Structures are given as structure tokens and as C-alpha cells.
Amino acid sequence: MSYCINPTCPNPENVAYSQRCQSCGSQLLLRDRYRVLKPLGQGGFGATFLARDEILPGEPSCVIKQLRPSGTTPHVLQMARELFEREARTLGTIGNHPQLPRLLDYFEEQEQFYLVQEYISGSTLQQEVKLNGTYSEAGVKQFLSEILPLLQYIHEQKVIHRDIKPANLIRRTQDARMVLIDFGAVKNQVSQATTNQSGHTALTAYAIGTPGFAPPEQMAMRPVYASDIYALGVTCVYLLTGKTPKDLDYNPTTGEVMWEHLVQASDHLISVLRKMLEVSVRSRYQTAKEVLRALEIEPYLESLANGLIVKSDTNNKEQTHNRPEDSAVLCSNSSAAATGLGVAQVAAAIRARRAKNADSTRLDVRGKPGVPVSKPTTLANINSNGSQTQKSKVGRRLDTQTLLTAYLKGRRDFALHNLNLLNLQGTDLSGTNFHSAQLQNTNLQGANLQNTDFGRASLTRANLRDANLNKAYFNHADLEGADLRGSDLTNAYLTHANLRGANLCGANLTGAKISDEQLALAKTNWMTIRPNGKRGLL
């Protein structure tokens, strides 16, 4: 099919390889090479189409973006031309980054402006959530670990995207990597827009972003790099809740989005998102690197909090947590500094955890709910350099049947539990929290563990052969001697994981966060798919 992109055409669909539109007579082959096949989307100032380049061998697909001015007066056309040239210049500036579509061509025809870009095949985050449901906490962490370095790169090129949202983030089918599209709302910090006689920016009618995702300063036409951080935070709330900004309530006094009551996530992730979504620019994270740094301190938060706990039962019958108002909580300044947290922040985090755990119940050994059990406690020290040295760990033991019964009843949190030697072969445990759990010699062969959190878990000599570990979170996990042959580790987060002696023969590591040093300690072969999507020895 050939598609006519004349905005006023009453019937734009035409038979394949037509030269002119049967309804309005417009030329169908743009610049004598690009044949439009179908529309992809339409915004406030333009439309995008899937097209085919009939000049190149194989007639590869491409995306054509048509900028549609709101009028034909010289002033309006000049504004449109400025916007068009700015987007083309920006796409040329940011270069050939693997997570950005390449600019292939740009031109003007009959007072219409066109950008030709690389076609990215895949689903948007918006489509993913509608099809598969909301993301787990581990999934959001993985998403942030993939998109924040890209955002940092864009900002280093002195470019503000200004329209980050789920519909503009595509998971590429080819390698499952996240790609950021639509730079039509960009602001280039180097070049300033001209001012017209009314005193308003020439591009005021365009490029302010999407309401709800754009923060107040951006809607007031004063965007900064932190404006993209805010939009990314709103995107994370959407991934966790499935709700768009128009579905959320706002505090009428502060203008803040009211989202925390809808999210089930750790206190630490909520605190990071809260700072990303600060209405005040000064209170918000200023750079993508700051957000990454904040996410990296998470492994130390639980240990630091437990290090502040005072035991109230001198008979050692059961370990309980004293309330701050009942007992003094002591903390050395050096420990707080080692994690990048102040004493007040740590105390607030501990109080939040206690409030959350006070209402929770655990399953008894038969899998029945409603029996309150004290939370297993980790006793640890934080060294002056910020590393964690564990002294002892007390975890509650679960058998296979109890774990599976609990999962079927909707429970997803098994952090700190002792699950050594369990036979969980072929089970579905996707989206589960196994943070700091003991899974030594556990049989998870062929199990579905997608979006599962194994942060700081012990998986030494575990059988994970042929397991689905897509987007799994292994930050600081111990996988020494684990069998991962044939496992799907696409987009898994393996930063700081111990892979000494782990068998990765035939594993798929496409898009995984893993270093060459880690891979050098593991067993690989020619069937192992590297993070770049290519097979071969690592």
C-alpha cells in the first residue's frame, strides 16, 4: 500500500507503487525515493509514518516525521522551520549512539518539513505495560540502570529531551535494548531561540513536552537537565502502577503528584523516586549520574539500619525492634558517611520500615497466613570504605511446598529466607523478591525467574540451567560455581555479582549489565551470547 501524507487528503490509502494519490493527486514518492506505507502516530505539531527507501538495495524501512505548521503565514513557517532545523541539528549532534535512532535525511517540500530516521522495530513501554502488566521493583531498577547512562550522554551533549514518557521509549526487538525516540521537543542549550515582538519565544507554541510528564519549570518554558529527571520519575511511577499522570491525584497545596500509596516497593526506591519527582528544581536530582549514585547505595541501607537496632529481649527468646521513642538508637557518624546517608535520613528510613513491617504477617510452616513472626535480622558492619562485612545472618527456613503455596496465594517477598537445597525445578517464581536469601545448591532448572530480585542473595552452586532470568537483578549476588548453561539472562543486572566458576556456556547475555572482568572469571563457550548480542568466546 502507498499512503498519502497530504493532511487534507480525504482518502490517503492507495494501491502499492502508485505514483500519485487517487484522491487528491499528491505525489506519493517523496524526494523520488521514500514511499510512505502507513501512519505510526500523530502529535501536536506533526505526524510520523512508516516508509520504505526504494533507492537503497533491499528497500529498507525507515520512519518519516512530517512537521505540520499550524498555518502558512511567513511568521508561522519561520517558526516551523526553526523547530525543524533544531531537531535535525540535535539529532546530528548526539551522533550514532546505539540507543538513539540515526538521522538518515531531512528536507523541505512544498512548505512541509520532513525528517527521515532509522526505523526501530519493537514495543513501546506503554504497549508493554498494557500487554504484560506493571513492572516489578527489580524491573524498574533494570530500566533505570539502562536509561540513566543514556540520559547522562544526552545531557553531556548539552541537549534536553523534554518529552521522556513511555510512548517514546521502545524496547528494540533485535537486541531488547531500550531506545529513546522523538526529539521533536528538544531544547539545545547552546543555541537560544529568537524572540518575537510580543516578547514570547518564537517556539512557544511548540515543544513544551507532555503535560503530567513535564515538570512546572518546563511548562513555564524554562527547562533544565533536571526536567528530564522528573519525566523519567513519572515514567517509573507509570511502570509500577500502570497509571498515567491524568489518572493520578495532585496535592493542591504543593502541586506534588500523589503516587506513593499506589506503589509496592522498598523504602529506598520510593525515596529515590520521591527526589526525582520533587516539584522544586533545587530539591530534585540535578544529573542522571546523581540518580545512579543514589541507587548504588541501596545494598548498604539494610545493613546500616540493622546495625542500629537495639535488642530488647535479654533472654534471647526472640529478637525484636525497639521504638526510637523507647530506646536510644546509636549511630557513628563514620558509618553514616560511608553510605552517603545522614543520621536523620537513616532514622527516617528505619521508622518507615518498622511502620511497614508492623502491619505485615508471615506464613506459618503450613503456609497459613496471619501468624506474626519476627523479621530475620542481619547483623553487619560497614567498613570505613563503604564495603559491607557480614558477621551473621539469621534466616527463616522454608520447604519447597510452603514456598510454592505462599507464592500461589500472592506472596512475592522471601527476602532473607533460607531456601538452600530446595527443588524448584520448572516452577514459576517471576517477580519475586529473594534479596539476601540463601539459595545454595537450590535446583531452579528451567524455572521462570523473570524480573526477580536476587540482590545480595547466595546462589553458590545453584542449578539455574535453562532458567528464564530475563531482567533479573543480581547486584552483589554470589553465583560462584552456579550452573547457568542455556539460561536467558537478557537485560539482567549482574553488576558486582560474583561469577567465579559460574557456567555460562550457551547462556544469552544480550543487554546484560556485566563487566569483562566478571566474565573472565566464568566459564563460557562459542555458544555464549555476549552482551552486545554476538556469539563467541568472551
Three-state SS at 430: coil
Q: What is 131-171 written as a DSSP string?
A: HH-PPPHHHHHHHHHHHHHHHHHHHHTTEE----SGGGEEE
Domain count across the chain: 4
**How far is the CA of 19 from the CAs of 33, 54, 60, in angstroms?**
11, 13, 19
Domain presence at residue 327 = yes
Same domain? 348 vs 426? no
Three-state SS at 406: helix
Among 454, 465, 444, residue whose Cα is nearest residue 497: 454
108, 114 in Cβ contact below 8 A? yes
Last residue of a domain, one of 333, 358, 382: 382
Last residue of a domain, one of 296, 322, 339: 296
Q: Which residues contact 226 (CB under 8 A, 6 or more apart)?
A: 215, 281, 284, 285, 286, 287
Same domain? 101 vs 70? yes
Instruction: Determine phi and psi for 132, rounding to 5 degrees.
Output: -110, -5
34, 51 in Cβ contact below 8 A? yes
How would you write the pLDDT of the chain (538 residues) with one tens digit per residue?
899 988 889 999 999 888 899 999 988 899 989 999 999 887 656 788 999 999 988 899 999 988 876 666 777 778 777 777 877 887 877 867 889 988 888 888 877 888 898 899 999 999 999 999 999 998 999 899 999 999 999 999 888 998 999 999 999 988 888 999 887 655 554 333 333 333 333 333 344 678 899 999 998 888 999 999 999 999 999 999 999 999 999 988 888 999 999 999 999 999 999 999 999 999 999 999 999 999 875 554 544 444 343 333 333 433 333 333 333 333 333 333 333 344 444 445 544 554 544 444 344 333 334 433 333 333 333 333 333 433 334 468 899 999 998 888 888 889 889 999 999 999 999 999 998 899 999 999 999 999 999 999 999 999 999 999 999 999 899 999 999 999 999 999 998 999 999 999 999 999 999 998 899 899 998 889 999 988 865 4
Domain presence at residue 340 = yes
Same domain? 271 vs 326? no
Same domain? 242 vs 284? yes
Instruction: Determine phi and psi for 244, rounding to 5 degrees.
Output: -85, 165
- Domain containing residue 134: CATH number: 1.10.510.10
Question: What does the alpha-carbon distance between residue 282 and residue 391 come to, in Å, rounded to a whole number?
Answer: 40
Question: What does the alpha-carbon distance between residue 5 and residue 12 come to, in Å, rounded to a whole number?
Answer: 7
pLDDT for position 113: 84
Same domain? 320 vs 278? no
Among 435, 90, 104, 421, residue whose Cα is nearest residue 267: 435
pLDDT for position 94: 83
397, 418 in Cβ contact below 8 A? yes
Domain presence at residue 186 = yes
Same domain? 156 vs 268? yes
* Three state DSSP letters for 70-130: CCCCHHHHHHHHHHHHHHHHHHHHCCCCCCCCCEEEEEEECCEEEEEEECCCEEEHHHHHH
Q: Which residue has the cell 525516540?
A: 181
Among 521, 473, 525, residue whose Cα is nearest residue 498: 521
Write b or e for each residue in 295-332: b if 16 or more Cβ atoms lie within 10 A of its Cβ, otherwise e.
bebbbbbbbbbbbbbeeeeeeeeeeebeeeeeeebebe
The residue ranges of DSSP E strands in 190-345, in sequence order, are 249-250, 257-258
Question: What does the alpha-carbon distance between residue 188 and residue 76 come to, in Å, rounded to a whole number?
Answer: 21
Q: Which residue has the cell 526472640?
A: 318
Same domain? 183 vs 46? no
Domain presence at residue 390 = no
pLDDT for position 182: 81
Domain presence at residue 387 = no
Q: Which structural domain, as residue segments, surrounds residue 417?
A: 395-538
139 φψ region: left (φ > 0), alpha (ψ -120 to 50), beta (else): alpha
C-alpha cell at 395: 534466616
pTM, full prediction: 0.55
Mind telling me the catalytic residues? 163
275, 294 in Cβ contact below 8 A? yes
pLDDT for position 6: 87
pLDDT for position 147: 94
113, 84 in Cβ contact below 8 A? yes
Same domain? 237 vs 271? yes
pLDDT for position 21: 92
- Domain containing residue 89: CATH number: 3.30.200.20
Among 429, 428, 423, 414, residue whose Cα is nearest residue 442: 423
The CB density around residue 278, as the number of other CB atoms within 10 Å, is 18
Among 428, 475, 488, 130, residue whose Cα is nearest residue 301: 475
Same domain? 112 vs 143? no
pLDDT for position 445: 94
Last residue of a domain, one of 118, 133, 167: 118
Same domain? 288 vs 236? yes
pLDDT for position 410: 85
DSSP state of 284: S
Domain presence at residue 406 = yes
pLDDT for position 484: 96
The CB density around residue 134, as the number of other CB atoms within 10 Å, is 17
pLDDT for position 175: 83
**Residues in the chain, overall count:** 538
Domain presence at residue 96 = yes
Instruction: Give the tens place of pLDDT for each residue, 319-360.
Output: 333 333 333 333 333 333 333 344 444 445 544 554 544 444
* Three state DSSP letters for 214-271: ECHHHHCCCCCHHHHHHHHHHHHHHHHHCCCHHHCEECCCCCCEECHHHCCCCHHHHH
Three-state SS at 8: coil
Domain presence at residue 11 = yes
pLDDT for position 193: 35
Mean of per-residue pLDDT scores for the chain: 78
DSSP state of 527: T
Same domain? 289 vs 272? yes
8 φψ region: left (φ > 0), alpha (ψ -120 to 50), beta (else): alpha
pLDDT for position 440: 94
β pairing state of 169-172 and 13-14 = unpaired
Q: Which residue has the cell 505462599?
A: 406
DSSP bridge pairs for 145: none
